[in-house]
A = this chain, B = another copy of it.
């Protein structure tokens, strides 16, 4: 088995993603996740280029993976020792340093405005300087594939200069992302034939043609033994090659599985889905449902034919077992779904229904009607269960809400400061009891948290006999979409709730009024919790 090395650049190239801005603390958490996963290098950022990256290297966690600082080869007209940009990179004190440099004559002339020989000398002197300082040196050959197409001898010479100066790795970068897999394979083979050993050769691809993963595999097929990529394929423009996708392919699929080994253990692989979703949480991004291996839809079998075959034998429509990467199989509910899907999903929720129960057809119809109104049950399992129970006649409503009112006011206070105050009144009925609760939504720091929070507090203030059961419950996330489009637009609110027992559940509400949609989802969330805890109705 040959060793294949994984070089992660989530914290550097991944930070180039539009809309992504890590804090130093978030970088620390991500570095720890990468280390747990088992990558070989963690490229932490460009020290000196922005304050966050410098802060991160000051506080970088101890990792088994080699922490790496990124920078660029020294500028023309000064020595490597006197280049302050390069000095800032070295000052981060990492064991490994990766410097990007030019290999494409067009860029040497156009972007740097220097001669081709001067560029070679910049590469040589920079790498030699790293090595003299006792660092592992990597050279990122920017625009390598375009450069090779233009002038193969010069592009190759840049690599040889770096290797001869002591670089441990030279990395072929398809910086603009325009090279297709066949060409990446061909040029990588030519580079190895030109004297660069495969076990000192890396590959760095972007997804501008949707081929970043395939280009990376093509370079590995050709003999490159380091792959650079990011978690979830973050990165400049369309992103980098996704390690989240590449790692399972390399570990689970032939020919890689039986010819290459990496530092990722089966346990690391089983944590991949969790790591992928945690990263999205840090970024406040909605996880991509269709992401290979780790997406919520990656093992979702919606077609009726597929779903029924899967129930007999998962191998019929799954290329790998979802549990291996910590993911799970789901049979989504929707108005395409047949009764066998529905029964399987209800059974998963502990609701057993006979094969010929006429309620199955009624539930399917109801789901269809409600989805037409804007509800979405794919992502709100708890509300779906309540709907099914209501139709099956096994839903205990526990309580009803007679009316509510919520007010938001923004004005100046006595000190002349602008403040906002939210207040809610809720009238709840439980059997013969009628309970009137009022709440503001001020938190411990005096911050007004808004009308939905005020409603939640008023509801949670006095639910009579159920009160003890909802006290460990809290709201985790709140997502709003305008749906239906055009004149018939409605607001869909999905609320994620959690409790002290580690459960997490999602409910949905739909209305033209965002407060009303939120309130519906809140009431569903409480009802589901009471059912989950098997609370006896008062």
Q: In the complex, how many angstroms separate the beta carbon of A241 from the nearest chain B beta carbon?
A: 9
Cα A218 to Cα B409 in complex, Å, equals 62
The one of B17, B297, B411 that contacts A237, using a Cβ cutoff of 8 Å: B297
CB atoms of B284 and A485 under 8 A apart = yes
**Could you mark each residue 182-218 of chain A with 1 if its beta carbon is under 8 Å from any beta carbon of chain B, else 0?**
1000000000000000000000000111110111011
- Judged by a CB distance under 8 angstroms, whether A24 is at the interface is no
Cα A209 to Cα B213 in complex, Å, equals 8
| Interface hits, A118-174 → B, CB 8 Å | none
The one of B213, B253, B299, B408 that contacts A406, using a Cβ cutoff of 8 Å: B408
The one of B175, B300, B408, B513 that contacts A448, using a Cβ cutoff of 8 Å: B513
Q: In the complex, how many angstroms separate the beta carbon of A175 from the nearest chain B beta carbon?
A: 7
Given that A237-B298, A448-B513 are contacting pairs, would A408 and B405 also be in contact in the complex, using a CB cutoff of 8 Å?
Answer: yes
- Judged by a CB distance under 8 angstroms, whether A519 is at the interface is yes
- Judged by a CB distance under 8 angstroms, whether A289 is at the interface is yes
The one of B312, B376, B409, B478 that contacts A110, using a Cβ cutoff of 8 Å: B312
CB atoms of B407 and A209 under 8 A apart = no
Q: In the complex, how many angstroms separate the beta carbon of A279 from the nearest chain B beta carbon?
A: 12
CB atoms of B408 and A412 under 8 A apart = no
**Could you mark each residue 89-119 of chain A with 1 if its beta carbon is under 8 Å from any beta carbon of chain B, else 0?**
0000000000000000001001100000000
Instruction: Say which one of A269-277, A330-338, A389-397, A456-464 lies at the interface with B.
Output: A330-338
List B contacts of A373 (CB < 8 A): none
Q: In the complex, how many angstroms separate the beta carbon of A256 from the nearest chain B beta carbon?
A: 9
- Judged by a CB distance under 8 angstroms, whether A233 is at the interface is yes
- Judged by a CB distance under 8 angstroms, whether A477 is at the interface is yes
**Could you mark each residue 220-238 of chain A with 1 if its beta carbon is under 8 Å from any beta carbon of chain B, else 0?**
0100000000000100111
Q: In the complex, how many angstroms separate the beta carbon of A57 from the nearest chain B beta carbon?
A: 16
CB atoms of B253 and A336 under 8 A apart = no
14 more contacts with CB within 8 A, not counting A208-B298, A238-B297, A408-B451, are A19-B334, A19-B378, A50-B336, A111-B316, A180-B253, A181-B218, A207-B292, A236-B302, A238-B295, A406-B407, A441-B513, A448-B516, A451-B515, A479-B481
Interface residues of A (CB under 8 A from B): 15-19, 21, 49-50, 72, 107, 110-111, 175-178, 180-182, 207-211, 213-215, 217-218, 221, 233, 236-239, 242, 245-246, 249, 253, 281-282, 284, 286, 288-293, 295-306, 309, 312-313, 316-320, 332, 334-336, 371, 376, 378-379, 401-412, 420, 422, 441, 443, 447-452, 477-485, 491, 511-516, 519
> What are 16 A-B contacts defined by CB distance under 8 Å?
A18-B332, A175-B317, A180-B249, A210-B242, A214-B214, A238-B295, A284-B481, A284-B485, A404-B411, A405-B411, A408-B451, A447-B512, A449-B512, A451-B451, A451-B514, A451-B515
